[in-house]
């Protein structure tokens, strides 16, 4: 793919693709302010830790707390499916759905500078699995049908 057929990073007009985007999502009967909140809450089975994550005012703070929660035993096995479920939930919103569909067939690449080579591609080393981008493209394809 050429650079014109890719969305590099979820900034500016593509900020809505970020998990930090304020978009309430439901997970296990609770509403979270963003995918980032719900994802970090899903890491634990402890209801008090989930509540603490849910109540954070910023996704950045949520991410910090999410690094310290008691991980559920199956987390490594289920984390991609959890993310897929949350991204699907986010794009049930009609406005966000239209924005995602407007990306057409562009490759969505979650570029970052903080070294995340699992969910995105680190710009410093230009490597990464880009799982978030793959999930976004998968959900977009589902919505196109």
Does 138 have pLDDT greater than 60?
yes
Query: Residues 19, 34: contact at Cβ < 8 Å?
Result: yes
Question: Which of 2-6, 113-117, 118-122, 137-141 shows the lowest per-residue confidence on average (mean pLDDT)?
Answer: 2-6
Structural tokens at position 76: 């490594």
- pLDDT at position 21, please? 97
Does 3 have pLDDT greater than 60?
no
Does 1 have pLDDT greater than 60?
no
Residues 21-73 have pLDDT tens digits of 999 999 999 999 999 999 999 999 999 999 999 999 999 999 999 999 999 99
100-117 per-residue burial string, b: 16 or more CB within 10 A, e: under 16? beebeebbbbbbbeeebe
Does the domain at residues 3-144 carry the CATH identifier 1.10.357.40? yes
Nearest to 38 by CA among 74, 12, 69, 7: 69
DSSP per residue, 22-58: ---EEETTEEESSHHHHHHHHT---HHHHHHHHT-SS
- pLDDT at position 2, please? 47
Residues 102-123 have pLDDT tens digits of 999 999 999 988 889 999 999 8
Give dist(CA 41, CA 72) in Å, integer: 10
Give dist(CA 51, CA 93) in Å, integer: 24
* Ranges of each domain in the chain: 3-144
Q: Which residue has the tokens 């990464």?
A: 128
H-run or E-run covering 139: helix 131-144
Indicate the pTM of the whole model: 0.92
């Amino acid at each position: 793919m050429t650079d014109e057929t890719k969305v590099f990073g979820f900034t500016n007009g593509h900020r809505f693709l970020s998990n930090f985007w304020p978009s309430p999502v439901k997970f296990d009967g609770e509403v979270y302010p963003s995918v980032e909140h719900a994802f970090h809450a899903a890491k634990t089975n402890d209801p008090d830790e989930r509540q603490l994550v849910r109540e954070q005012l910023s996704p950045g703070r949520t991410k910090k707390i999410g690094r310290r929660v008691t991980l559920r035993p199956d987390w490594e096995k289920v984390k991609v499916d959890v993310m897929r479920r949350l991204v699907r939930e986010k794009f049930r919103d009609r406005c966000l759905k239209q924005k995602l569909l407007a990306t057409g067939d562009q490759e969505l690449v979650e570029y970052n500078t903080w070294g995340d080579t699992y969910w995105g591609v680190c710009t410093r080393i230009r490597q990464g699995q880009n799982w978030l981008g793959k999930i976004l493209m998968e959900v977009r394809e589902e919505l196109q049908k």
